[in-house]
Chain A
């Protein structure tokens, strides 16, 4: 138990404020796109001296109650598909366990540097392909001038919806169609695997619901909160059984993130659906550069390239972390700006309406 207790850092006012602030911004983005924040929170806690596993465990223990509050809020706006969230969430749980096992095996075989390299390469490959596509799709919608109209179902989603495998078909309200769970299981599993690897399963989960299943962006991002709740609850219990959750860290981050997630959820009611893709795609692509910068550091540690000087390593690490914070701040800025503009437009419309009806 002494070993376990030595995992827990001393908290001072600055640390508390820092965690509260990052929690708020992370919550704001999560409330809007369904996930995010963890990629800054985990390294952020580690920079305070929290051991890696305790940082992952504590982050997870703040994630599930946050996701619950966000999901309940967005359910009020009719954006949540609980059934889809639970079906994907259960398979995601299996993905988390498998992903964690792979991580452990890589760590055993190749050490910390090998494990970090695996995480960074997963970040770069997935964020480049999926993030690039999400951003491209948002850009295409914006350029086509159709950003005001309802989203249309893509070709892949139409094909998935057209496949009928007897005994496996389930109706989902967000898609308004029956889809075989043989499609949802691998999607949930990949979401969980990604969550276990880079801590943000939503970077797979949300695009998968939009492009593979055909769910509208708003519903996909809201349903991701249900998946995050299911995954986070199971994960937290697993880590807590090993005494790895620092409940103080988790609850302080939660304090900030519950302010943020309410605001992010409210924000979704003011924006055009393609804004979800804009925020998600931008964050993914910026984070990709952040992680990409760390690849040479791990390659050098593994002896695969020439050794880097200490100054270079430190510069790369600092730049990488700064870019991640920038990604989160930019996401939060876009959400707040879009919300502000939406509110202004609605007020103007309200005032015009009142004038027309001779109320003023």
Chain B
């Protein structure tokens, strides 16, 4: 935390990604009946859950990454390379 204080924290990006992520989850849960009946049809519809997983992982993954950075939880500065 001590070292990160000098660096600008991605608060804005975290908020934007957080809102998009929350909107995606809200849509998924509010429309769960339509989602389930469409996604479970199998065949080519199998691509829908895969695409959903990629989209959610992008927005929510970026949000969670920024979340820990904003909290000051960052990788050690010493050991960035293994070998």
Contacts and interface: CB of A to CB of B under 8 A. Distances in A.
Interface of A: 1, 4-5, 7-8, 11, 61-62, 64-66, 68-69, 72-73, 76-79, 174, 176, 216, 218-219, 233, 236-237, 240-248, 250-251, 254-255, 258-259, 262-263, 265-266, 269-270, 342-343, 346-347, 350-351
A258 B57 contact: yes
A254 B25 CA distance: 11
A12 to B, nearest CB: 11
B61 to A, nearest CB: 4
A251 B82 contact: no
Contact of B56 (A240, A242, A254): A254
A346 B29 CA distance: 43
A219 B40 CA distance: 37
Interface in B29-83: 29, 32, 35-37, 39-43, 45-50, 52-54, 56-57, 60-61, 64-65, 67-68, 73-83
Interface of B: 1-3, 25, 28-29, 32, 35-37, 39-43, 45-50, 52-54, 56-57, 60-61, 64-65, 67-68, 73-83
A243 B42 contact: yes
A262 B65 contact: yes
A61 B54 CA distance: 10
A216 B82 contact: yes
A243 B40 contact: yes
A4 B41 CA distance: 8
Contacts of B36: 5, 8, 246-248
Contacts of B41: 1, 243
Contact of A69 (B3, B42, B61): B61
A77 B75 contact: yes
Contact of A259 (B43, B64, B81): B64
A8 B42 contact: no
16 contacts: A77-B75, A77-B79, A78-B80, A78-B83, A216-B83, A219-B83, A236-B53, A237-B50, A240-B39, A240-B42, A241-B43, A248-B28, A259-B64, A262-B64, A346-B76, A350-B2
A72 B54 CA distance: 13
Contacts of B39: 240, 243, 245, 247
* Majority-rule SS of A interface residues: helix
B30 to A, nearest CB: 11
Which of B29, B46, B67 has the largest count of A CB atoms less than 10 A from its CB? B46
Nearest to A219: B82
Given A241-B42, A242-B42, A247-B52, A263 B57 contact: no
A218 B80 CA distance: 12
B29 to A, nearest CB: 7
A254 B53 contact: yes
A175 to B, nearest CB: 10
Given A77-B75, A254-B53, 12 more contacts: A65-B53, A65-B54, A65-B57, A73-B65, A216-B82, A240-B45, A240-B46, A241-B42, A247-B28, A254-B56, A255-B56, A270-B79
Given A77-B80, A248-B32, A5 B56 contact: no
A255 B77 CA distance: 28
Contacts of B2: 347, 350-351
A266 B74 contact: yes
A77 B47 CA distance: 32
Contacts of B3: 350
A269 B29 contact: no
A246 B36 CA distance: 7
B68 A263 contact: yes
A266 B69 CA distance: 10
